Amino acid sequence: MPHKGAVNSIRLFSGFTRGSLKLILQGNRAYWTWLAFLSVLIASGALAYARQVRVGLGVTAMRDQVSWGFYIGNFTFLVGVAAAAVVLVIPAYIYNWKPIREIVIYGELLALSAITMCLMFVLVDIGRPDRFWHLIPPFGHLNFPRSVLAWDVMVLNLYFIVNFLVATHILYRAFHGKPYIKRLVVPLVLLSIPMAVGIHTVTAFLYNGLAARPYWNSSILAPQFLASAFCSGPAILLVVVQLLRRFTRFDIQDAAIWKIAELMAYAMFLNLFLHGAEAFKEFYSNTQHLLFTRYWYFGVNGHHTLVPYAWSAVALNLISFGLFISPRTRRNFITLNIGCLATYAGVYIEKGMGLIIPGLTPDALGEIYEYYPTVSELRVAAGIFAVGFLLFTLMLKVAVPISLGEFMGRKTEREAAAAGVGRMEPEPVATPSEA
């Protein structure tokens, strides 16, 4: 009877919800300190944002000359983080390499948090957040397919939905002690691979398509976006899995961590190579378009606010490449973690400030307005990062025990005990050929 089935699933779902809530509310002092820290940042960001809504975007350092700044820089960086889950999904599913597969679910959760932050950064950047619905058909009017921003809105939301479906389905089924439905998961995972490449390509095209800004109007932009994303996304994840290994029963082989670090070295090489290719073209041909690159690396006419950032990014990227390419340093956890932090910081600088600000400085009529984010902008941005980290922390709090078989539906637990199963092994996924 469908009626009974519905009641049953409602009961199961409420069990899942109540259990998850209980898990979230349990934790040691470090956990609560972390949550309190994030809450303070969120409150500070919310207050700064409330003022921004009241006064206007004039509380930021953005002006007509540099009309996009820190918010859009963070947005771009985080699209890369979200897309990078793919670098883990590809070897795990296509080559069926088991050690990495255990991390994939966390990669997907990271992607969900990153996309949430992306959408929040766009929301705080627009002048009329009350009109956000103008973008959403059928209520609004989406200028599709002409506007690349319309494309970006669509792919980001679709990517969010796909990752949300896969992650919640796998976890929910594991909660009931059932294997996930392959017919549903495998096509979605396979879809998420081109979609991850897609969201970052479309985001690159957002800038790339603007002939008015020569710094962005270079066909190397999209490949370079992807290369740097494949560095920054895994950098975060490697730190996260080490923390999980330390504080929970979650286990991951060193081999998997080292493999990912090796892949990051190749990605970083590609990133550096593409930067070099771009720098060669600009400096050797020495046209007027060199101005923007010169502003970033050397400053123009005494305006050099960003120069220290530019060279820090170069140095950090070189250091992380060196640490990851050599097997000795990537297998040493101290140098590995230094490499992760260097990668994260390097890519964060080059893709945030380093992409947006020189793109708009000097402006279309040659004027140099030196942009530097205000405290208000920094507070709003920190608040959004805190929301993302909070979301990620809470999702991990539920997801880790489920995949470890520590958190299950009551009935499932009894069945598992009867069957003598102590802990849930992740179910192997079919390779594409099997599916």
Partner 1 sequence: MVTRRLFTTTAAGAAAGMILTACGPKRLYEAPRDKLKARIAEMERKYKEEYGKDVKVSDAGPIPGVHFAYALDISRCIGCRRCVYACVAENNQSRDPQIQWIRVLSMEKEKGVDFSHANAYYQPAEVPEEGHFYIPVGCQQCEDSPCTKVCPTGATWAEKDGIVVIDYDWCIGCRYCMAACPYGARHFNWTEPTIPEGELNPNTHYLGNRPRPKGVVEKCTFCIQRARQGRYPACVEVCPVGARKFGNVLDPNSEIRYIIEHKRVLVLKEELNTVPRFFYFYAT
**Which residues of this protein are in contact with partner 1, per CB under 8 A?**
3, 55-58, 62-65, 67-68, 122, 125-128, 131-132, 134-135, 137-143, 146-150, 153, 206-207, 209-213, 288, 291, 359-360, 362-367
Distances (CA, A) of 295 to 210, 218, 307, 351: 19, 17, 8, 16
73/346 with CB nearer partner 1:
73
CB of 68 to partner 1, least distance (A): 6
Tell me how far apart the terminal alpha carbons of the chain are, to the nearest angstrom: 31
Please report how close the Cβ of residue 211 comes to partner 1 at its closest, in angstroms.
5
In whole angstroms, the minimum distance from the beta carbon of 288 to partner 1 comes to 6
Which residue number, 257 or 355, has a Cβ lying nearer to partner 1? 355
C-alpha torsion 65→67→69→74, nearest 10: -150
Cα-Cα-Cα-Cα torsion 17, 81, 350, 214, nearest 10 degrees, comes to: -110
The 3-state DSSP class for residue 253 equals coil
- At closest approach, how far in Å is the CB of 184 from partner 1? 24
Closest CA to 189 of 80, 79, 104: 104
| Least CB distance to partner 1 at residue 142 (A) | 7
For residues 391 and 115, is the Cβ–Cβ distance under 8 A?
Answer: no
352 versus 362: smaller Cβ distance to partner 1: 362
Q: How many helices (H) and strands (E) does the chain have?
A: 16, 0
Neighbouring-strand partners of residue 303 = 300
Distance, in Å, from the CA atom of 34 to the CA atom of 223, rounded to the nearest integer, reads: 36
The smaller minimum CB distance to partner 1, of residues 62 and 314, is found at 62
Q: Token match 């979609």: residue?
A: 195
Q: How far is the CB of 134 from partner 1 (least distance, A)?
A: 5
Q: Which is nearer to partner 1, 57 or 424 (CB)?
A: 57
- CB of 57 or CB of 89, closer to partner 1: 57
How far apart (Å, rounded) are the C-alpha atoms in residues 189 and 182?
Answer: 10
Say which residues have a Cβ less than 8 Å from residue 36's Cβ, sequence separation at least 6. Answer: none
Nearer to partner 1, 66 or 387 (CB): 66
Nearer to partner 1, 273 or 298 (CB): 298
Nearest to 342 by CA among 326, 328, 321, 325: 321
Q: How far is the CB of 121 from partner 1 (least distance, A)?
A: 12
Shortest Å distance, C-beta 55 to partner 1: 6
CA neighbor of 242 nearest in space, from 216, 225, 227, 260: 260
